[in-house]
Amino acid sequence: MQYALLIYYKPGTNEVLGADEAEAVHREYTELKDAPGIIGGAALHPVETATTVRLRGDQLLVTDGPFADTKEIFAGFYLLEADDLDRATEIAARIPAVRLGGSVEIRPVVTDQD
Amino acid sequence: MGREDRSAALIEQVFRDEWGRVLASLIGHFGDWDLAEDAAAEAFAIAAQRWPSDGVPDHPAAWLITTARRRAIDRLRRDRVLAAKLRLIAAAEPPAGEARSENTAEDTVDTSPIPDERLELVFMCCHPALAVEAQVALTLRAVGGLSTEEIARAFLVSPETMKRRLTRAKSKIKVAGIPFGVPSGPQLPERLGAILAVVYLIFNEGYGDPDRPGLAAEAIRLGRVLAGLLPAQPEVLGLLALMLLHDSRRETRFAGNEHGQDLVLLPDQDRSRWDWRQIAEGRALLDRALGQAAHPAGRTGPYVIQAAIASLQAQEQLDWPQISVLYGKLAELTGSPVVRLNRAVAVAEADGPAAALAIVDQLDLPDYQYWHSTRAELLRRLGRRDEARAAFRRALDLARTAPERRFLERRIAES
């Protein structure tokens, strides 16, 4: 099965971490890319850099900022190949966001077999 | 009972007993819940047709599993053929090793031992990635063999709502890849705890309501299955003991009058109408659980302690000091303020209402009916009547069932 591990951050997490710790966390994310089953993923720049596109009536509306103000910020994702949800949970639990007050949402990916 | 009635009753009994095993075996084999459930239902329908005249086979579970497997394979083959046609793919040779089974094969049954996979099934049904209400419904459907309509009736929702709940849960199992298996090592105690919580929730739904006694019996049946599958887990035995001990008093917990069913408190219950055989069984299980928990690697968990309390409550002379010690242990283990409240009730009997009130006043459970009613009762015994009445009124505001409201109204009138 394929899972997307969607990483959500509590706003301000990076500011709270000292420079050393932030670097250590960054290293952890890089190392996780080599964890068994990880086949892809991406880290996203902060929401301040986001642009949202939507349709208002028949007019295309382009605005600054994220689509919705939420308590947690979507920060990136890993793509994981795993036997089942328990294996996926084991990997998800190792993502630093989990212990830093954020969360990881595990979503099964639609594949050709679906 | 006539011969036919007897065989119908026997068949129904076999169905109830074997459904979980048959379904578990099929899910284990095919890895697909819907396919397994349909095939199992088909096999049971064939059995219902044949067994009354042919007699129940020597190995009913093996017969049902073999029959259902063949039905499932037939269905998979039909689906594959259909898919092939839909895709306009030229008919290929059937894969090697898949000789046509057809329906004649039902008479030759593989009687070699089939592993019991109900435990894998229970862990799947009670996986924490499912909502608790879905866990409850799935467990009753899959392991208990209840129909969707029966579960709906027991939980006071419409059959459509229950059907949707089950469909959504089964779809999540499939799409999210919730595993069919027993978790290993460090995960086991927590996951087992989730299963026991589901069974105890089912029990309490039935135990708290005189109109739904079937759920308590169903929970006990599930508890027996688990105790058979995990005979070395003290908490599993403890839960079964606890349910048996509580349920032994079911005939005396409510008394009918012109208003309906009224709650009868423990000291006022007619002990001669308790089910003493069930109490003996519960106590024997408790002894086994305590023996296992005393093992160096074991520990006494919350269900074992609660069973021990229930066992003490069945004694003629209630040993309140001992009961309050056990509640103290349970409170330490669970950190639950509700357990502390229960401890206070025992302390009131052992050491008097003042000591108990001191414990109750340390708790802060403003939305909990029994916190107010317990406080009220203690205040009443201490002769602080105005405060008692006020507390009974707060409890009355929060009371949900008619028997409880009547009980509290009487107390207010008396104080």
> ipTM of the assembly?
0.86
Residue B95 has pLDDT above 60, yes or no: no
Which amino acid type is present at position B154? A
Instruction: Indicate whether A25 belongs to any domain.
Output: yes
- In angstroms, the CA B142 to CA B367 distance is 36
- Which range has highest mean pLDDT (A56-60, B5-9, B399-403)? A56-60
Q: Is A97 on the interface with B (CB under 8 A)?
A: no
Instruction: Indicate whether A113 belongs to any domain.
Output: no
Using an 8 Å CB-CB cutoff, list chain A residues near B187. 86
- In angstroms, the CA A4 to CA B328 distance is 46
Are the beta carbons of B40 and B81 closer than 8 angstroms?
A: no
Question: Among A94-108, B89-103, B266-280, B357-371, which is the least confidently predicted range?
Answer: B89-103
- Furthest-apart CA atoms within chain A: distance in Å: 49
- Going by C-alpha positions, the residue among A3, A33, A2, A14 that lies closest to residue A102 is A14
Q: Is A44 on the interface with B (CB under 8 A)?
A: no
Question: Among A36-45, B62-71, B90-99, which is the least confidently predicted range?
Answer: B90-99
Q: What is the pLDDT of residue B108?
A: 66
pLDDT more than 70, % of chain B: 91
Q: What is the pLDDT of residue B105?
A: 45
pLDDT more than 90, % of chain A: 69
The 10s digit of each residue's pLDDT in B113-130 is: 778 899 999 999 999 999
pLDDT more than 70, % of chain A: 97
Q: What residues of chain B have any CB closer than 8 angstroms to a CB in chain A? A: 127, 129, 175-179, 183, 187
Q: Which of B175, B178, B180 has the highest number of chain A CBs within 10 A, making it the mutation to test binding with A?
A: B175
Q: Quickly count: other Cβ atoms within 10 Å of residue B413's Cβ.
A: 9
Using an 8 Å CB-CB cutoff, list chain B residues near A106. 176
Q: Which domain holds residue A53?
A: 2-108
Q: Is A47 on the interface with B (CB under 8 A)?
A: no
Are the beta carbons of B33 and B27 closer than 8 angstroms?
A: yes
Alpha helices of B31-158 — where are they, by DSSP H? Answer: 33-54, 60-86, 118-125, 132-142, 148-154
Which amino acid type is present at position B242? L
Residue B211 has pLDDT above 80, yes or no: no
Q: What is the pLDDT of residue B94?
A: 46
Q: Is A85 on the interface with B (CB under 8 A)?
A: yes
- In angstroms, the CA B174 to CA B64 distance is 24
Q: What is the pLDDT of residue B263?
A: 78
Question: Among A84-88, B211-215, B232-236, B311-315, which is the least confidently predicted range?
Answer: B211-215
- In angstroms, the CA B65 to CA B30 distance is 12
Instruction: Indicate whether A81 belongs to any domain.
Output: yes
Residue B89 has pLDDT above 80, yes or no: no
- In angstroms, the CA B173 to CA B163 distance is 15
Residue A19 has pLDDT above 70, yes or no: yes
- In angstroms, the CA B24 to CA B9 distance is 24
Q: How many residues does chain A have?
A: 114
Residue A57 has pLDDT above 60, yes or no: yes
Q: What is the pLDDT of residue B237?
A: 97
Are the beta carbons of B298 and B292 closer than 8 angstroms?
A: yes
3-state SS, residue B128: coil
3-state SS, residue B107: helix
State which residue of chain B sits closest to A83, comparing Cα positions.
Answer: B177
Using an 8 Å CB-CB cutoff, list chain B residues near A108. 175-177
Across chain B, what does the average pLDDT equal? 88
Q: Which residues contact B287 (CB under 8 A, 6 or more apart)?
A: none
Q: Quickly count: other Cβ atoms within 10 Å of residue A33's Cβ.
A: 12
**What is the pTM for the complete model shown?**
0.84
The 10s digit of each residue's pLDDT in B300-320 is: 899 999 999 999 999 988 999
Q: What is the pLDDT of residue B96?
A: 45
For chain B, the distance separating the N- and C-terminal CA atoms, rounded to the nearest angstrom, is 55
- In angstroms, the CA B74 to CA B70 distance is 6
Residue B11: is it exposed, middle or buried by C-beta count within 10 angstroms (0-12/13-18/19+)?
middle
- In angstroms, the CA A108 to CA B3 distance is 54
- Over range B131-149, report the average pLDDT: 93
Q: How many residues does chain B have?
A: 415
- In angstroms, the CA B61 to CA B94 distance is 30
Give strand pairing partners of A64: A51
For chain A, the domain total comes to 1
- Over range B205-218, report the average pLDDT: 81
Q: What is the pLDDT of residue B13?
A: 82
Label the pairing between strands A103-108 and B254-257: unpaired
Q: Check CB contact under 8 Å for A84 and B175.
A: no
Quote the Cα angle for B70-B75-B76, to 5°.
100
The 10s digit of each residue's pLDDT in B338-348 is: 999 999 999 99
Instruction: Indicate whether A9 belongs to any domain.
Output: yes
- In angstroms, the CA B214 to CA B223 distance is 14
State which residue of chain B sits closest to A4, comparing Cα positions.
Answer: B176
Residue A91 has pLDDT above 80, yes or no: yes
pLDDT grade for B88, boundaries at 50, 70 and 90: low
pLDDT grade for B256, boundaries at 50, 70 and 90: confident
Are the beta carbons of B216 and B250 closer than 8 angstroms?
A: yes
Q: What is the pLDDT of residue B102?
A: 43
Across chain A, what does the average pLDDT equal? 91
Q: Check CB contact under 8 Å for A85 and B183.
A: no
Instruction: Indicate whether A114 belongs to any domain.
Output: no
Residue A38's CATH number: 3.30.70.1060
Q: What is the pLDDT of residue B4?
A: 65
pLDDT grade for B103, boundaries at 50, 70 and 90: very low
Residue B59 has pLDDT above 80, yes or no: yes
- In angstroms, the CA A61 to CA A52 distance is 8
- In angstroms, the CA B397 to CA B377 distance is 16
